[in-house]
Every structure is written in structure tokens, then in C-alpha cells.
Amino acid sequence: MTPRKPGPVTRFAYALYGAYAVSVFALGVMACLLVVTVTPGVERRRRIVASIIRAAFLLSGAGPAVSGLDNLPAGPSVVVANHASYLDGLLLKGFLPPRFSFVIKGEMRRNPLVHFLLRRSGARFVERSGGNSAAKDVREFVRAAQEGAALGFFPEGTFVEEPGVMDFRPGAFLAAIKAGLPVVPIGIRGTREMLPAGRILPWPATLAFEVLPPIQPDDPAYGNSKTLAEAARARILPIAREPDRRTTVVRG
């Protein structure tokens, strides 16, 4: 059944909320830009930026329900999550420990301001087009993971307006296998309802994410990066509460 669209009064109230939420997050972005410009040390910048993001979510009334943080390993790991909205990265950046370095699509380099903010906050960038650049990115992630970095990925690579969890690309899981690091699945829900692709203003929604127990890449049940990706995806699906939009068949 297709959900009924909100009436005019509700849409007006949502628009007012959206304008308020955008104002809150815009102030947060300006504060983050100031912090990453003048604060020395990437770890210190990460902690302060995370605090600003948390405050923005709370002030906008979208403070998320977070569970399972005790499932995060104390040492290096690879975190993977479903991707439904631009809010996903902010959500994890604000509420996961600041040691995680998130992997962002390379297209973000085209926006100098966004690139500056992300780079100074410790983000890493990956090319989605394949070829030598993508292979080089994976090698760099493996090296970073072997050196002790905690990496965060959205292995779908992008998001669309239509609900559903799409195929997971194998790059994050290949890096985990080569570095011998546990893969930690995270299921996110509510962000697509709040700010889906194609909408400018956020609407009120209930946000939540759950950190699931880690998967060890040396488990013989997961013979390669594709089967490891599918195992993580299968655990995330019931938490995301969205349709399965897998288009490929994975064989071990």
C-alpha cells in the first residue's frame, strides 16, 4: 500500500520544521568550518566536529536512538552501513567514536568547501569509476587499516529516492580481508524519511542506528570479499527495515 501523502496543513508544518532544521545544521556547518580551520590535530578536530554534529541532531529534534556501541572492537576495524540519505554520514560521524575515518565518494572533491571540511575532519576519498584510481584507493585503505586506522564505508556507494538496500560493492570487504580486520555492520533507519534524495527540506522522522556484532574475515564461511559483503548486508537488512534491492547473485 502506498502511504498517504500529508495534507496541506501537515505539509506547511513540515516545511516550517524543515526550515528550522536546515538553519540548525547550517549553523553547525559554519561552526565545523571554523573548528577545522583553526584547531590543530586531526583527532582533536574529529572530537569537536562530532560534538557539534550531535548538538545539531539534538537541537533539530532528531536525536537518534543508538544501540550496540559495545559491539565496536577496541582496536582497528572496518565499519559498513546502509546508505539512504546525506544524513547517514553525519549521523555516524556524530555518534560513533571519533577514531573512525569515513570513506567518501571522490566526487565530493569537486566542491572545494565540502572537500576542505571533510579532509580536515579526517575523511578519506574513493573513486567509484573503477580502473587504476579505484585500485589505488583500495591499496591505500589496506595500508591505512594495517597501520591501525578504523575505517567507515557505505558500500552501496550511493543512495536513491526509492527505498531499499542495494548491492554492496566489495572494496571495503577486500580491504578488511587483506588487513585481517573485523567487519562491523551498522543498520541505519529513518534518514530516508527525514531527507531522501530529491528533497531539499528535511521532515521530522525517528532516526536510529544499531551496531551489530563484528564478522571475522578469516571465518571459512566467507570465502571472498563478495560473500563477506553479502553476509554483512544480510545482517543490516532487518535493521534498515527496507526492501532487498539486490541485483546480483552471490556465489561462494
Q: Dump pLDDT digits (tens) for 55-88.
A: 999 999 998 999 999 999 988 889 999 999 999 9
Confidence of residue 5 (pLDDT cuts 50, 70, 90): low
Higher pLDDT among residues 108 and 153, named by residue: 153
pLDDT computed for residue 252 by the predictor:
47
Amino acid at 200: I
In this prediction, residues 152-157 reach a mean pLDDT of: 90
> Positive or negative, the Cα torsion across 91, 232, 145, 125?
negative
Residue corresponding to grid cell 570479499? 225
Q: Are 166 and 246 in contact (CB under 8 A)?
A: yes
* Among 239, 174, 203, CA closest to 15: 203
Grid cell digits, residue 9: 496543513
pLDDT computed for residue 131 by the predictor:
52
pLDDT computed for residue 128 by the predictor:
55
Which tens digit of pLDDT belongs to each residue from 206-217? Answer: 999 999 999 998
Share of the chain above pLDDT 90, in %: 54
Sequence spans of domains, the chain: 8-240
pLDDT computed for residue 103 by the predictor:
77
Query: Residue 91: helix, strand or coil by DSSP?
Result: helix
Q: Are 168 and 117 in contact (CB under 8 A)?
A: no
Q: Are strands 208-211 and 183-189 parallel, antiparallel or unpaired?
A: antiparallel
pLDDT computed for residue 2 by the predictor:
47
Which tens digit of pLDDT belongs to each residue from 173-188? Answer: 988 888 888 999 999 9
Greatest mean pLDDT among 1-10, 47-56, 140-149: 47-56
Architecture of domain 8-240: 3-Layer(aba) Sandwich (3.40)
HSE-CB at 164 with a 13 A cutoff on CA atoms is 10
Q: What is the rounded distance in angstroms from the CA atom of residue 231 to the CA atom of residue 234?
A: 5
Q: Are 168 and 80 in contact (CB under 8 A)?
A: yes
* Separation in Å, CA 16 to CA 83, 155, 178, 201: 26, 34, 49, 9
132 has a pLDDT exceeding 60: no
* Per-position b or e across 96-124, b if 16+ CB within 10 A of its CB: bebbbbbbbebeeeeeeeebebbbbbbbb
Residue 90 CB partners (closer than 8 Å, separation 6+): 25, 53, 56, 57
200 has a pLDDT exceeding 50: yes
Which tens digit of pLDDT belongs to each residue from 218-249? Answer: 888 887 889 999 999 999 999 999 999 987 65
* Separation in Å, CA 93 to CA 51, 104, 162: 9, 12, 24
